[in-house]
Every structure is written in structure tokens, then in C-alpha cells.
A and B are shown apart, each in its own frame.
Chain A
Amino acid sequence: MGAQSKIDITLQDQSTGLDEVVVTALGVKREQKALGYAISTVSAADIVKTGAPNFATALYGKMAGVRIQAAPGGSTSAVSITVRGINSITGSSQPLVVLNGVPIRNGGANNTDYWSDQRINSNGLVDINPEDIESISVLKGASATTVYGHEGSNGVVLITTKSGKASQGIGVDFNASLSADYVAYMPKYQTTFGPGVRVGSRGDYEKSTGGFWERTYNGETYKSLRSTTQTNGPRYDGSDILYYDGTVRKYQAVSANPWNQIFRTGFNQTYNLGITQGNEKGNMRFSYTYVNNLPTQYNSSYAKHNFSFTGAYNLNKQLKFDYSINYILQDIKNRPYRISRLTNNFSGMFNAYDDVAWLREHTITSLGYLNSSNKSKTLTPNESIAYDIAPSSLISEYFWNILAKEQLEDNNRLLATLTPSWKILDGLTLQGRISTDYTTVKTENKDRTENSLIYGDYTGQYALSNSRYTITYGDVMLTYNKNLTEKLALLAYAGWSGRTEDYYYSKVATNGGLANENWFNLAASKNTASASMSETHLLKDGYFATASLSWDNSLFLEFSGRRDGSSTVNEGKPLYYGSINSSFLFTDAFRSNLPTWYNYGKIRASYGSVANSPDLYASQEAFNQGSASGMIYNTTQSSLGNNKLRPETKYELELGLENKFFNNRLGVEVTYYSNRTVDQILKQTMANSSGATAKIVNVGTLANKGLEFALYGTPYQTKDWRVDLRGNFAFNKNTVKKLNDGSDILDHAKIDGGAVSIESHVGQPMGDIYSYAPLTDASGNPIVGADGFYKLTTERVKVGNAMPKVTGGFGASLGYKNFNLDFTLDFRVGGAVLNTPYQYLMGRGSLVNSMDHRDAAHGGLTYYFANNDGNNMPTQGLGGSGIYTYDNGMILPGVKQDGSKNDIMIEADKYYNWTYNWGVGDPTYYSHAIFDNSYVKVREIALSYTLPKKLLSKFNCRNMTMSVYTRNPFYIYKNLPIFDAEATDGTNWLSQSSIGGSTATTRTFGMSLRMSF
């Protein structure tokens, strides 16, 4: 009975799945079944379900082989998309983003170090409004992207925006979404011990008091604490101590989670109004979206207005105009500052003892100056901090930068496209496209004066920068679509596309401080104001052609070719790419031989070439010019250009199988690919005695191969219930086949004075992470030296590799009557990251993670120092009369050099402090701060309720859905300690391979209302 009813309902469902139409390269719509290559598609509903700040973050775990990584920081932070692993060793790995057939500005956002850029920047794709998107397709393989030539090797993301096409008459949509961001997944601090040096280096007063420190303040002597970021001091005991606010406080931890005082709760609002109209003359859609965020960072704000106007107008039966205008206005006050001064710099490392809220409130004095403990050089000595605080950078470099420096960004972007098409004959269409992507950014920096000019130092700065980025794109394309015979059909198109990109940037700034306090104008410059500019120009064009033949609607064969020209290649030397692909619907061809539940079966194969062009101006051989003291000078390039540089070329073979079963209630797709990218552009290091440090050359080869699985289905469905499941996972194996001539190793980065290096080796995946590590004996036991610490390797050894091995996601949708529960998780297996804040903070002893053996309650052993001299090795047992006893002894697991089990005791605080330190030098090592960054994360959960149609019709309302949702609510599994698995920023793999103090990650809760009239 139950089975019977199920079948009845499914018969009328999903019957259209077979003829699914998808957008392919150059905006050409094709039937899914005709494609000889893999394509992944996500539709509008999945993008806006949980109010994701941009479309890319809505793609997490939804497409096989497409890995998303969003930088922390919310709406203004860049998102990287990696399709099928990394195809370029040093070049861009970001896909081309195409909006309604036109490539748009995206770009990367990578910082090299704290000093060069202290804020987390954006990239172009995050500007695109998720509310306006109809669908997103990702073209992955070389055959799918051949017609994009040397922009296609990292895949292509095709975005199609909503139109009024489907609507009859006037339709109105209104959506509102409210959410709150809570800082989450940040380090947790121990609340057992306060500040102080390790027991072995305490002075006499500290020894006698268990670690306290004596201070004189305003002529009186107090018990207090040392100003140190090490937390090996006395146990919190509630006794009276002099705190740095100048008061006597009870000695207890202020907070185990001081990050809640560094940041605040963020609040986001999004409102969208869409109006559509359609009739026989055409259709149009207007949409306005307003986004307002209160970021988690203090003293910052974000507002965005997005206007979208798209439509189509049919002049007559032959002539048609499609148009699309998108205008985006953003006001950004203070993009997120990196927290690296607090996590990667000893003088900024606070702990549970620090009253972060008090410090935040006392960073700026009542006169508006930077506060400090210096009482002589201030007009407000009463407000000064009582004594030097250990985390001094928290005030001087973090809170001051946030609270007293303003970066005001005014960002305007216009994307406009006009697409005329002329249906010349039946089956023959000529289409043109002209578009612009125009961005202007005005940025003002106002850094307050730090102290009164009375003291003769000029501080503060004013800077104004303006930039303009223009992309002008045009293409023409002739399409011929004809059934040649009853069974043989041809679809062919050929055309030309061209694009210019022009960028201008100029900046003027005061120099040497502000001559008048807080006068934010160039006129206030103490020294001659500084000015700088840059400009870049890019031109690309190409001819392309594709011919697809189909036989009986079940066998398809396609050829594509592209001839490319680019200004990044010397003398515009043309380059050629081509591909072939085929698909075969065996279920149609052998219909009668197959069971009826086998609804759809297709195999496909493709082979193609595509490329990645050199970075702008990377290859040019030229001279630098500058002027100094009135002399004009030229110097040679230290890293030499190479006028013979070519794009990196990728060759890819792809095979796939697509199936649908049981009246399309189960779908399975499998894809195998194998590619090789040759002519990798690398900087070949030179001996300086040659006169240059490096030369850019085409030399390396990189290969990727992998398997992608996608599974979707509706395992359970009744009148009231419906369960939809979808899952995907992708294996990717990356191998470096060749590097520089005569060298099997390429250094990407050396970190912390060479303590860690990131290298690529021939025969291995890119991005091996090397560091010094404990020496082990033949059976893998670590070897302990006479000092009780691990003996270390004399060379760096491989500890991990930065490339993830498997990525994927799983989604479920559970519907009951008008209720729907959606759930998405995504996962990653493998891919190491270096967690430097963990290394440093463990060495401070301030984390809950560094409590083992710190006292008897945590497994510490009892010992004393002979003569109370902390330079002696600890002696197990009680000290006896006049000798202090400690309870933080530990014996490292391992063997001594003679092979016997280690029994040498060391102090736990010394162990943490010495082994988790900065730089190279026995016994410090970093291998215990390099983690496999595997995780399984619940990305989003949404519960929605759709009001009954019957009720709504009374209000002339077609649809009304209310939902509550959460993003990033929790991890099912996470291997990386103290941070979110995605706490890195930057859009290239190298930036993403080390956690280095980006900004806070968050957990979001929100609700939304969607109405259609």
C-alpha cells in the first residue's frame, strides 16, 4: 500500500531531468546530455538559503572537485575557488569568473607579511550579489574551457543572473535576512597560572612567594606580577595584588576567552526587492539589495547598495537585445585588521590574566592620544597605565590601529552588458556582446596624532588613494544550428572576443607625521608629501570555433579551437589550443535492452589543451628608474624578465559516467581526469655574482589526476514527506614532474629564520612542509638527550604536505508538509598547515592546551632543585627544609641515547617554553605545530516554513517562506588546534598553508523572510 502510493507520486516528479539545460562556455546553452565533459551547477535556491555573504561561500561542499576557501572577516574578505587542485606552481590558481557571458574582474588577495599589508582584502567575485544569481556552473576540464584559451586552465565559473523571462505580468519578490556573528574557534586560555617566568629562572622573591613579583608604585611596595607574556607565574589564589590599572585587585583570571573582548558580536542585515515583468515584447527585472553589516571588529562598518537591471527586448522576430546593468556601491570603514600582532608577536600575546576590556577602553586617553605607562611624556599622567604591561602591542599596535586609525573606503562598481542578436535565418544567429566592468575606489586613511606636539614628535598620517579599474570586453559570434538529416544535427559557432583591462592607482600621503594634530589633509604634512602611482594595461583577444555533431540525439561529438593573442606575451605571439570531446547516451541507444528503472546513462570522454598566461609584466626585460637627491638613476632588474616567456599549457584527459535510476530518484556521476601542465613559469634562482637574483623561465611540469563522485537522490517521498540527499567527493593527486633544470627542489618560503620551509620536490605533490623534528631510533621512538629534551634532526625533514587529498560535501533536505530542514556539511582530508600562533602561544604557557604536567593535578611530578638553583637538573622528590618543592616535573616519552627508556626529568614549563619557541635552535622545533588540516564541518543548517498557498492567496501573495539558519555552527571533526580550519587568508595555496593571524572566525545565526507577489 505504502509502496504503491510512493510510485504514483514520483511518476509526476522530476520528469524534466533528462533534458536539463545548462550554460556552457561563452554563455551557450546546451542540453546536459550533449556535453562530453564535466560541469557542475548550483541553482538560485541553494545560494541564498542561509544568507551567505557572497555566492562563493554558498558553494561550499556543493560541487565535486571545487574547493572553496573564504578568508575570515565577513563580507569584505576574499574567497578563493580551487578547481581540481593547483595547476600552476607559482602563478594564479583562481578560475576565470564569467558573468552573463562576460569575464569580470576577480583577482587574488594575498599578503606577503604583516608589514606590507595589515588588512584583509577582497577580491572581485565577492561583489556579485547572491540574490541576483539564477545559477552558477563550473567548467572544470581543459576541454570545457578550451575556448577561453590562456585564461581557462584554472577552470571557469559561469554566473547567470536572474531575469524576468519566466514571469507573466508583474512579479514582486521581497527578501529580508538578519543574522548575528559570534566570534568562534579562537584559542582558549588556561586560568590556573598567571604571568611569571618558569620556576627555574625565578629570582629570590619569586621563589619565596611562589612566583609573585614585588613592585613599588606611588612610593608604596606591593605584591604584584611580572610584566611577562609567559604564564608560568603563581597559581591564581585570590590574594591582593597591584594590577596594571593602578588598583589592588584579587589575583584571579579575568577571562578564559579574552577574544570576546577583542571583538564584538557582529550583526548583518540584507534586504532585497525584485520586480519582474514579462510579455511578448520581452522581459525585465529590477532588483535592489541593501546590505548593512556591523563587523565583529570594533570601530568598523560596512554598507552595500546593489542595483541590478536586466532584461531582454525583442525588436522583431529577428532582432533581440539583452541587457544587464549592475551597479554596486560599497562603503567600508576599516576592513578587518590582521590579528598577527596578537598571535605571532610576543609583545602582543595576552592571556587570561589580562583585562582586555580595560585595555581597550584605556587605549585612547581623554585627550585622544595613545596611552602608555610613560607618565612623563603625557598630558594626562593620571590616566597612564600603572606599569609596563606585557602585551604592549595589544594597545600600541592593535587597539590603537583599530580605534584611532580609520580607513574609509568608497567603492563603486558598474557592470554593464549589451547583447544584440540577429536571427538571420532559421538556425543561423549572429550575436554580439559589449560590456564594461568599471570599478573606482577612493580610500582615505586618517591616523590620529599619537601624542601632543608639545613633545616635538610628529605622528599620525593622512593618505588619499584613488584607483580605477576598467575592463572593456567585446565579442561577436555566429551560431549555426541545423538538423542536417533526420538523425544528424549540427551546432557550430565561431567568433572573436577581445578584452582590455586598464588600471590606474595613485596615492598621496603626508610624510613625517601631521604638523597639526589630527588635521587630515595633505597640507598638514610635516615633510614634503609623498606621492606614488601605478598603472597597468592588458589586452587579450582570440578567435574561437566549436562544432558539435549529434547522431540520433544520443551520440555527440564536438571539436573546439582557439587562437589566442595576449599583451603579456612578447610581440603578441599567437598561441593555439584545441579540444575534442564526445558523449554517448547508451540508455537511449540501447533502450530496449535495458531495464526501465535505468532512466539515463551516458559516458563521455574529452581531451583538450588550455593555458595560464604569464602575470602582467612578469616577462618584460627592462630597467627600473627612480630619482634620489635630484639624480636620476636606472638600475637593472634584480629578478630578470624573459621576453621569450610563454603561457603555461595544460593538457587534460577526462572520462565520465553519468547515470540516473528509478525514475530519476537516484543520480550517480563519476569523472576521472588526468592532466599535465607544462612550461610552468618559475623564477630560476641565480647566484648573485651573475648580477641578478633570479630569472623567470618556462621550465616546470605539474600533473594532477583525480576522481570525482557526485551522488544525489530522493530516497524517501510521500505526500507529506520528502528526503533529498546529495553528496560529492573528489580525490586529487598532485605531482611535480619537473622543476628547474638541474634542480629537483624549489623553495617557496622560509619561515621564522629557516625553522620551517615550504618546498616542492620532483616526484612529490607541491608544497611539502619541512621542519626540524625530534630524532627517532629505528623503531620510531624519539631520542632524548642528556638534558632530558628531544635530540633534533640536523636538517629539516618533511613533516607534511599542503595539498588536500580529498574534498567534498554532503547535503540533506528533509521536508514535511510545509516545513523544510536543510543541512550541508563539507570536509577535507589531508593538507598540512603550519600553525605558528600555536607554536608561540604554547611556549607562553597560556593556552589550556599547555596544561599537561604543569601541576600535580595535570600529571606533574614532584621535584626540587639542589640548592634551590634553577640551573640544576630537577631531582625527583620533596626538597626538605628550606628547599622549594615543585610539582611540574615531566619525563618525555622516548628513549635515551643508549636505547633505554627515558627517565630524565625536566620541568614542564621549561619544556613548553623551550621547545615551542621562535626560530632555529635546539631544543626548539616546529614539527609539533604542523597539522594535518582535515576536517568535517557542518557548514549550514536552515529550517524553513512555507505558508500555505490557500492562506497566501488572500493577500495576493504567491509564496512566503520564513526560515532560521546557522552557518559554521560546529565541527564534527577538526584536527587543527586553537583555530578554525579555515583561519588562513589569501587566495593562493602558499598563503593558505600557514595560519598566521588573520582575523577572527565566526559562527552565524540568522533568520530570513522570502515573499513573492
Chain B
Amino acid sequence: MRKIFSILLLAAVVLSMASCSKSDLTDKYADPGQTTQVTCPRLMAGTFYSGKGYTFNSYWRIFTWDYSGIARYSQTLGFLNNDGRYTFSDSYYGDRWNNFYTVLAQYRTLETIYSKLTDSDKSLNMAYLLCARIFMYDHLIQVADCWGAVPFSTAGYLPATANAADATPAYDSNESIYESVLSDLKAVNASLIQVQASSFISTITSGLSSQDFINKGDLTKWRKYCNSLRLRVATEVADKGSLAAKGQAAIKEILADPTTYPLVESNAENIKVVPDQDGFNYASEYRDGWETWTGQLNRASKAMVDALSGDPRIDVIFDKNGSGNYVGVDPTTDFATQSSRFDAGNYYSSYDSATFSRNKNLPGIIISAAEVAFYKANAYNKAYATGGDAKAAFIKGMELSTEFYFGINALSSYRTPIAAPSTATVDAVAEAKWNAVTNKDEAISTQLWLNFGFLQTTQAWTAVRRTGYPVLYFPTDNTSSTVKDVPVRLRYPSTEKSYNNANYSAYSSVDNFTSKMFWAK
């Protein structure tokens, strides 16, 4: 009996020695390819990285977002009058929506991590939070421009909180989004001034420069991005609607005090991302976005060719057709004629291969100096601000835009760059464009739209909807039961209806392609 007892005891000892402790199991729970330790700098880089598909000229963006929808709606690209020409796949525009919320989720997580820091760590990390916020606002406004009311103030929190209530965020009205962005960008600028005055500024900028893909740690440039973005938003709401007074006040404030509110004033200061043949790289793939499908995606629109008549920029923006002319797709031509011309392959002009599709250095433009100059021209023209001349700002905008497009053309190694015209030539063209119309808003708005062109189709669509210029012709598509006329907004992705229905329902009555934005003409 004693023997049995001792054996059982031995067995018990063996068993207890063999068994795994709780910590053994816990140690192997985590995926060695993931981390639970994150910091503000890396989440800021994560915010930028998440938004790169709609910041760079990616193949995916060009094919799905621009070509299939927005570049048609803004006529920054020629398209044929085929059946279903305005229909836009939910999965395509849904991807743009989803991308913003991925950006927002990174920002919310950054915000959450930041809020838990000590005060001294906060002061060292504040710049990351502010830069990420500016970038996030930029994308938020693009999404609000397309959809109107969107979930924002309670959106994007689920990864940070894992709180079930955050799975279904409420919608913020279109007005409240612009309003809060307008006021908060002012606060961001003020906070950046504070950061610049910090006694640890060299530590902050050296850390920032190693993580900042956009402005390489230049906080002044971030302020220019911030104020220029605020100017963009203010301009958008200043003409009509409940925010007109607030928009006009913001324009006045920014233009009156360039020291406090520096803007992007020269092409050297353009806010952009540059392909660098590394991780943030889109240099090698967007050629396919424009040129595959036997060159179907890069045809000029008649509206752009017309707007560029007599303008030297046409030589770097479009390629000539087979007969040596610039011919864009005319929406008034019937489909059969269009399609036979299209099939001929060399009837319609295409976007310039050297400047765009085969240019491995083509930047992803966020805000350009020309855009800002046209906002100034707009402000002076409408007397939203004083102390400047609308025509002078307009001519400056033309000069900057011309310099900008020839500058991109010069980056290309595909063929010998075309020499830029002299300032005098550009000024003469600008003068002529200014004088050609009695309503100067038309001249300014057309050039703003033209400057956005195919590189910033989303902005071009917002601009043309806001100003009504240039006047674009869109033939009605009677074959479509859902989208007969060119959309003025996008429908919410079906995932909202399915998985955020309670909040979606509040806006389901305006969920169509035809409800105008409050700021639209």
C-alpha cells in the first residue's frame, strides 16, 4: 500500500512539473508580428500611411474613384455618352469612404494615446497630434464635400475603445462639420505657434522630421497647410448658406494677418507627397491607371481643352491627337460618333504622357500655391477681404499654375521637357482670360477648376459645384433607372445602411445622387 501511495505521489509530482504555467500560455498569446506598444510619432505616420491611396495618384484611385466617377462629374476627363455613364459602383466610392474612416481610426487612436500622456510628454508629442489632425481634416472635408452629413464626432473610436457603443457612430450635419473644422484649424495654428515657441523645439522637430512624410518636420509648412486648408473650407462656405458669415470672417482674418496665418504662397511651398521609390511609393504603377485598357482612361474633355485655348499649359497637360490638334471628348456628340472616334485611337487627345502617366516623379498634390492665389482673387473679387487686388491675385495664380505644370513636366525623364513660357507671356494670357468675361468670378473659378484638373479631381468637383463655373454640359442618361443626370452628391455606402442603420436612417431621405449641398450653387 505504501508503495502505491509513493507511486501516486511521484506521479503527482511528475504531472505538476510537466504542466504549463499560466504565464507560459500567456507568453505565446501574442502574435510576434504585431505589437501592443504604440507611440504618437508612429501613429501619426500610420495616419498618413493609411491615407496614402487618396493622397498619391494611385492606380486604384485613378481607376475607381477618378475615372469611374469624380473625373466624369467634374469633366476633368473625357468620357463617352454610353449607357450608365454616371453610375458609380458602391464598392468604388465605398472604398474612398472606408479609407477616410481608416485614417480617422488612426487619428482617434493617436488622440487616445496622447490623452493618457503626462503633461510634459504631451508637450513633446503635441506636434504629432496636430499634424495628424490637419491631415485628417483635409480628408474629412473631402468626404463631407462628396457626401454631406457624415459620421464624425463619434466616429472612428472603436479600435481605440473597443466599446460596443462606438460601433454605430451618429452623423454630423454637413454644416457642423465645416463649422467645427473652421474653428479648430484656427486653434491648431495657434497650438503650432505654441509648439514652435517651445524650449524643446529642436528635439520636437528632429523627432518629427524622421516621421513626417509630408512636410519633413517643417512646422511652418504645417501651419501653411493648416491655414491654406482653412482658407479652402472658408471659401467653400462663404458664398451661401448658414456659414457664409463665418466663412467670410475666416477669410478676412487669414488674409489680414499673414504673419499669424502664413499660407502656401509659392510652388516651393506646395503641400505635396513625392514618390520616392520606397514604401510610400506610387511611381511605377499609375501608368497602368491611365494607359491600360488601350488608353481609354486618359482622354481629354472638351471643357478642359476649351478652357486651355491660347494657354501655353495645354502643351504640358495634353498630348496632341493624330492630326496634331488638341481635341477633347465633346459631350454633345452622340455616342455612336464618339465611340467610332474613340476606337480610332488617335482622334481624341490624351493627358500628356510625359507630365503625367509616365512621370515617375509625379507628385501627389495636397495644396498648391496657385489654388491659394485663386482663393485670394475670389476673396478680393467678392470683397470678403480687403488689402488686395483680385486681378493681380488672379494673374499670380495663372503664373503659379503655369510654373507648377511646367515644373512637373520638367521632372519627367520620358522625353525632353518643354521650356516654360516667360512670365510676360503668361501674364498676357491671364490678362486675356480676365478680360474675356464680365463676371470675374467665372474667370477665377474656371482657372481654379482647371488648376485642380486631373490631379485633384475631388477638389475640381467641389469647385465646380460651388461656383457653377465652368458651365458644363451633361446629357441626360435615360437608360439608367437610378442615375439619369450627373450626380451632385454620392450615396452612402451600403455598409452604412446595413451596419449603422439607426444613424443612417436620420439621413436616408437625402441619400440619393441629387440632393444638393448647402454650399452648392
User: Which residues of A are in contact with B by a Cβ distance under 8 Å?
Assistant: 424-425, 428, 430, 474, 476, 478, 495-496, 498, 534-539, 541, 543, 565-572, 616-617, 620-638, 640, 685-693, 695
Contact = CB atoms under 8 A, between A and B. Distances in A.
Contact of B495 (A635, A636, A687): A687
B496 A687 contact: yes
Given A632-B42, A691-B156, A496 B34 contact: no
A636 B167 contact: no
A476 B156 contact: no
A629 B158 contact: no
Interface string B460-499: 0000000000000000000000000000000001011011
Contacts of B387: none
Contact of B22 (A571, A636, A640): A571
B261 interface: no
Interface stretch (B43-51, B185-193, B410-418): B43-51
Interface in B77-91: none
B499 A685 contact: yes
A572 B26 contact: yes
Given A621-B162, A691-B155, A691-B156, A630 B210 contact: yes
B31 A424 contact: no
A703 to B, nearest CB: 26
Contact of A690 (B20, B155, B211): B155
Contacts of B22: 565, 571-572
28 contacts: A425-B4, A430-B11, A474-B18, A476-B14, A478-B11, A495-B15, A565-B22, A565-B25, A567-B28, A568-B29, A570-B29, A622-B30, A622-B35, A625-B42, A629-B278, A631-B212, A632-B211, A634-B39, A637-B159, A640-B159, A685-B499, A687-B167, A687-B495, A687-B496, A688-B495, A689-B496, A689-B500, A691-B101
Dominant SS at the B interface? helix
Given A476-B15, A535-B33, A565-B25, A692 B4 contact: no
A688 B503 CA distance: 13
Interface in B429-473: none
Interface residues of B, number: 73
A631 B150 contact: no
B105 A629 contact: no
Nearest to B109: A636
Contacts of B495: 685, 687-688
A539 B28 CA distance: 7
Contacts of A425: 3-4
A636 B4 contact: no
B45 A566 contact: no
A687 B169 CA distance: 9
A686 B495 CA distance: 8
Nearest to B105: A691
Given A688-B98, A688-B493, A692-B105, 16 more contacts: A428-B4, A538-B28, A570-B26, A570-B29, A572-B20, A572-B23, A621-B162, A629-B213, A633-B46, A634-B39, A636-B46, A636-B159, A640-B158, A685-B495, A685-B498, A686-B167
Nearest to B49: A633
Contact of A572 (B24, B210, B276): B24
B168 interface: yes
B7 A430 contact: yes
B424 interface: no
Interface string B35-64: 110110111011011100000000000000
Contact of A617 (B26, B31, B48, B156): B31
Nearest to A570: B29
Interface string B215-228: 00000000000000
A620 B23 CA distance: 16
B49 A628 contact: yes
Nearest to B499: A687
A765 B428 CA distance: 75
Contacts of B94: 688
Contacts of B167: 686-687, 690, 695
Contacts of B38: 623, 634
Interface string B104-123: 11101100000000000000
B438 to A, nearest CB: 45
B210 A424 contact: no
Contacts of B43: 633-634
Interface of B: 3-4, 7-8, 11, 14-15, 18-20, 22-36, 38-39, 41-43, 45-46, 48-50, 94, 97-98, 101-102, 104-106, 108-109, 150-151, 155-160, 162, 166-169, 210-213, 276, 278-281, 493, 495-496, 498-500
A934 B186 CA distance: 69
Given A543-B15, A628-B280, A686-B499, A622 B213 contact: no
B194 to A, nearest CB: 25
B162 A640 contact: yes
Contacts of B11: 430, 476, 478
B25 A689 contact: no
B34 A623 contact: yes
B156 A689 contact: yes
B135 to A, nearest CB: 13
A688 B97 contact: yes
Contacts of B50: 635
Contacts of A478: 8, 11
Contacts of B159: 636-637, 640, 691-692
B33 A534 contact: yes
A690 B7 contact: no
- The residue among B25, B36, B45, B97 with the most chain A CB atoms within 10 A of its own CB is B25
B32 A537 contact: yes
Nearest to A625: B35
Nearest to B157: A691
A428 B10 CA distance: 14
B10 to A, nearest CB: 8
Contacts of B48: 631, 633
A628 B97 contact: no
B108 A628 contact: no
Given A424-B7, A617-B31, A690 B210 contact: no
Contact of A633 (B45, B101, B496): B45
Contacts of A621: 36, 162
A1 to B, nearest CB: 62
A634 B46 contact: yes
Contacts of A631: 45, 48-49, 210-213, 279-280
A568 B495 CA distance: 30
A541 B19 CA distance: 7
Contacts of A628: 45, 49, 213, 278-280
B104 A691 contact: yes
A572 B213 contact: no
B25 A625 contact: no
- The residue among B49, B94, B109, B212 with the most chain A CB atoms within 10 A of its own CB is B49
A630 B46 contact: no
A220 B281 CA distance: 49
Nearest to B501: A687
Contacts of A637: 34, 159
Contacts of B31: 536, 616-617, 620, 622
Contacts of B101: 688-691
A474 B33 CA distance: 28
Contacts of B3: 424-425
Contacts of A543: 15, 19
- The residue among A498, A534, A636, A689 with the most chain B CB atoms within 10 A of its own CB is A689
Contacts of A476: 11, 14-15, 18
Contact of B20 (A565, A617, A624, A635): A565
Given A629-B280, A688-B97, A539 B166 contact: no
Contact of A634 (B20, B42, B156): B42
A629 B25 contact: no
A691 B158 contact: yes
A632 B493 contact: no
A622 B34 contact: yes
B134 to A, nearest CB: 17
A570 B25 CA distance: 8
